A and B are shown apart, each in its own frame.
Chain A
Amino acid sequence: MTPQATGDRSRRRPLGLLASLGSLSFGVRSAFDTAGLVSSIADHVMELARADQFALLLLNDETGELEGDHYERHRSSPTGHSRIAAEPKSFLGRVLRRETLVFEESGSERAPVAWQSGPSESLIGVPILIGTSLLGVSVIGYSRRITLTERRRRALLFLADQIGLAVDRIRTRSELDATRKRLEDSVLALRKVDEAKSDLISVVSHELRTPLTAIKAYTETLIDNLHSPSFTMQEKFLVIVNEECDRLSRIVNDVLDLSRMESGRRRLKAEPVSIARLLEEVTGTVAPELTHKDARLRTDLPADLPQVEADPDLLKQVLVNLIGNAAKFTRPGTDVVVRAGRQGERVTVSVEDHGLGIPADKLDRVFERFYRIEESGTDRVSGTGLGLAIVKSVVDLHGGSVRVESVVGEGSRFVFDLPIRQQGFRQLMRSLTPFFERPELKLLLQSCVEMVAEVMDARIVSFMFFNEEGTDLAIRASHGLDAETVVRTRVRLGDSVAGWVARTSENLCVENIESDRRFRRMNHPQYETKSLLCVPLRVAGETVGVINVNNKTTGTLLDQDDLSLLVAISRRVGVAIERVRAAGETGDISAMLATLRAIVRARRTRLLPGSRRLFKMATDVGKRLGMDEAELEVLGYVARVHDVGMLAVGEDVLGSGRRWTDTEHRQVEAHPQAGVQILRPIEFASKVNAIILSHHEHFDGRGYPRGLQGEEIPLGARVLAVLDAYESMVAGRPYREPFTSGEALAEIERCAGTQFDPRVVAEFARVLAEGSETERGYRDVVR
């Protein structure tokens, strides 16, 4: 090959590459299925970049693994498939972490992907990004050594953008499909409810016509005979009309009660109720029925029967209906017996009559609306046919169950039980089950766990939730635990650390699990450190479970400051769950997911001042300034997340290694607002926003974004301003050498009164002076 020809080609190729990108964009836009799309991308990329190997590895949000097919030149179908948990220092790990193009010469790296055509001589990894979220990595391999020209670099980045758009589009489409499926399902469910309602209406209208028919017939006959001298039935007829009117209104009331309960519109107004007291009230109501039958009501209740949390009006109706029924069916002169007792966390009540009993084949139908044991007779006139259906609805609403036992010829016994603890807890837990079952909500929970792990710098984090009875806890999401532990772990309320925290709802920091008197147990081998944190997870004001944190990545002990930080985070997790729960099935969780991912990403990419030092010093300075526990909690949390808005600026600007342009500078200056925006979906405290928004304000009013001055700036923000400046000076910028600690402090002290609050600067200087000792202290207790 002549030098001339080489020159020609090198000139033509990049131009051709750029020119052909349009055709890739087109191909990408028209491909509909992922497989076809990736294959088409692979062909284009290998063709345009003259590459020999290509793999598109997409990030699995749940496992964090990269997964995808391999393609090689001159092969029509994929040549392999990879599923890789990228080590931070590996080739792929570096692409993920830096989120920028990584170029490798052969030999310097173990091959991330096993190609059929052998290892690559040159390897390029390009992150696939959409906005601030990372979708995966495309790997481009060469069987020969190549040089990465600026042109090629730019072309590949452009390609990656196109791939990102295409992948995002397909994901959006499949999300849309999933949403459509969900909507269709709920339409079906609604249609069923609608049919059930229509059925009910036709049954109810029949039941209403029955007394109406009597009223109409008797009234008309009364009118027709009003002036007939021989007619003597006036009083008898009017009594019947009156009775039937009462029956009609009972049916209307019962139907309304039932439909309110079944539609869930009747909210339980639960309070502690004494069954004995309730029975006394009921006795008066059912007395006429009992007297009519010459029957007696006998009660058998233990003296120590606990109160149950129930809606007293509804529970009273249950007793009236059951005892009223028993009185109606019991043989004259016999007893109706009410018994109650405690069984574990439930109270059981039974109502027994000595009547004809119910045939076995009718037993399971007696709770149906308007179902009557087929028996012609006069007694049924008084019933609405809804009494037992209402009993069942009320008991269900309380999370209890009802059944009937009967011996024909001897009598029947209705038994219902109710949980002692109510307070909507069971309903609350039931409303959380989608978080353990629906993939997108499971993902949300998992993202919360990842967020906690990142912000706490913890290797092991687990979320445990109660079962519906509130008796056991199980792990529902975790980070750093093996699958077997997750499945196997069950903790009874009150037992061990999690059970203790769940019962008391207190925050717990154990410095050494083996010597702590409260728990005294051997440490599990997978927990490398003996210290741990456990805090209650509260949703809608109720403790629904706990968050456990073990093993700091630094190997240091978890302490009270970490606990305070975890409390702050657990509140945000609780708010996230509550908001998603409240939004219901049609709610959109994407914003919340984006928030959680942004925090994780910001921490991983070290955009947020990740050092423990900043968090520690912020807390220490806050303490010295007399902040109370709540203020410290907020400050600690903000110190960990306040720079998340920098994500909007992007690492290409921050890591550009040069001074920023005016536009870039404005972007950087807007990062506090961007941060507040990103955090909003899980934020509830205006204080947090206020601090984040004002940590670049200057004491003399010349800062941004609002130009606040002196005490107008929240104290937390003034603390953060000092620490932020210190951290950034000590860390250095790409275009500036790092300062020593002393130099940084001198610079800060120079700006006291102008940029910084002098009081904060003074306390900061003291904390810094003591810092070296504290750090030595940390080192001593490591493992």
Chain B
Amino acid sequence: MSKGKVLVVDDEIYIVHILDFSLGMEGYEVITALDGEQALERMKSERPDLVVLDIMMPKLDGYEVCKAIKSNPATKQTPVILLSAKGRNVDQKLGFDVGADDYITKPFSPRKLVERINQLLGQQVTERPTP
């Protein structure tokens, strides 16, 4: 049984792959999008429990996508984690202004990202299998 459905949005295919892997290992069901428009389509069709959202993306950037999610009554409760190479305070503030629940700068630790997702979804941290 899946711990929840996470939408991963990033135009860097390797980042999507590694998040798919890490969250999959953690027991989440992962769906992906490579740009902002795809992301909003997936929101509608897949109804994810949480969104990991890159900011600098073609077509529609992360801020716009986040604003759309948070202004739609059907999705506004869905937690959004912004993931960005923009590390400046103004960028972070802008992220919270559009309703993001967390803001993580790249490069990031997949382990810590998973911990944040667990917290936001109120899940117990599963013990990592030890050798």
Contacts and interface: CB of A to CB of B under 8 A. Distances in A.
Interface of A: 205-206, 209-210, 212-218, 220-221, 224-225, 227-230, 233, 240, 244, 372, 374-378, 381
A240 B109 contact: no
Given A214-B14, A228-B131, A376 B107 contact: no
B22 interface: yes
Top-4 shortest CB links A-B = A374-B58, A216-B107, A376-B34, A227-B131
A213 B131 contact: no
A217 B109 CA distance: 6
B98 interface: no
A643 B120 CA distance: 93
B107 A215 contact: yes
A197 B38 CA distance: 35
A210 B14 CA distance: 10
A244 B58 CA distance: 21
Residue picked from A217, A374, A375, most chain B C-beta under 10 Å: A217
A113 to B, nearest CB: 69
B37 to A, nearest CB: 9
B129 A213 contact: no
Interface in B46-93: 56, 58-59, 85-86
A209 B54 CA distance: 13
B3 interface: no
A229 B130 CA distance: 10
Contacts of B125: none
A610 B106 CA distance: 80
B131 A217 contact: no
Contacts, number: 74
B123 to A, nearest CB: 18
Contacts of A205: 85
A220 B110 contact: yes
B11 interface: yes
A376 B58 contact: yes
B110 A221 contact: yes
B109 A216 contact: yes
B22 A209 contact: no
A217 B58 contact: no
A377 B19 CA distance: 17
Contacts of B56: 206
B121 interface: no
Interface of B: 11-15, 17-19, 21-22, 25, 34-35, 38, 56, 58-59, 85-86, 106-111, 128-131
Contacts of B59: 374, 376
A209 B21 contact: no
Given A217-B18, A221-B18, A221-B110, A381 B86 contact: no
Given A206-B86, A244-B14, A381-B13, A217 B129 contact: no
* Interface SS, B side: loop
Contacts of A215: 107
Contacts of B12: 210, 213-214, 381
A752 to B, nearest CB: 88
A218 B58 contact: no
A693 B108 CA distance: 76
Contacts of B34: 376-377
A309 B83 CA distance: 49
20 contacts: A206-B56, A212-B107, A213-B85, A213-B106, A214-B15, A216-B109, A217-B19, A217-B22, A217-B107, A217-B110, A221-B18, A221-B110, A225-B25, A227-B131, A240-B14, A372-B58, A376-B11, A376-B35, A377-B34, A378-B13
B27 to A, nearest CB: 14
A273 B59 CA distance: 43
Contacts of B131: 227-229
Nearest to B109: A220
A385 to B, nearest CB: 12
A240 B22 CA distance: 15
A221 B21 contact: yes
Given A212-B106, A217-B18, A381-B13, 10 more contacts: A206-B56, A209-B106, A213-B108, A218-B18, A221-B110, A227-B130, A376-B34, A376-B38, A376-B58, A377-B34
B14 A209 contact: no
B106 A210 contact: yes
Given A224-B128, A227-B131, A240-B14, A217 B108 contact: yes
Contact of B129 (A212, A218, A228): A228
A236 to B, nearest CB: 9
A228 B22 CA distance: 13
A380 to B, nearest CB: 8
A358 to B, nearest CB: 14
A375 B21 contact: no
Contacts of B58: 372, 374-376
A421 B57 CA distance: 44
Nearest to B130: A227
Contacts of B22: 217, 221
Contacts of A210: 12, 85, 106
Nearest to B17: A240
A209 B85 contact: yes
Nearest to A214: B14
Contacts of A217: 14-15, 18-19, 22, 107-110
Contacts of B107: 209, 212-213, 215-217
A705 to B, nearest CB: 70
A436 B108 CA distance: 57
A515 B129 CA distance: 104
Contacts of B128: 224
A225 B86 CA distance: 29
A216 B108 contact: yes
Nearest to B12: A210
Contacts of A220: 109-111
Nearest to A233: B21
Contacts of A216: 107-109
Given A227-B131, A374-B58, A375-B58, A218 B85 contact: no
Contact of A218 (B11, B14, B106, B108): B14
A699 B14 CA distance: 90
A210 B110 CA distance: 15
A374 B37 CA distance: 12
A381 B108 CA distance: 19
Residue picked from A209, A218, A240, A376, most chain B C-beta under 10 Å: A376
A213 B15 contact: yes
Residue picked from A210, A375, A377, most chain B C-beta under 10 Å: A210
Nearest to A208: B85
Contacts of B130: 227
B129 to A, nearest CB: 6
A262 B119 CA distance: 49
A178 B113 CA distance: 60
Contacts of B21: 221, 233
Contacts of A225: 25
Contacts of A378: 13
B38 A214 contact: no
Contacts of A224: 110-111, 128
A216 B35 CA distance: 22
A367 B15 CA distance: 27
Nearest to A227: B131
A374 B11 CA distance: 10
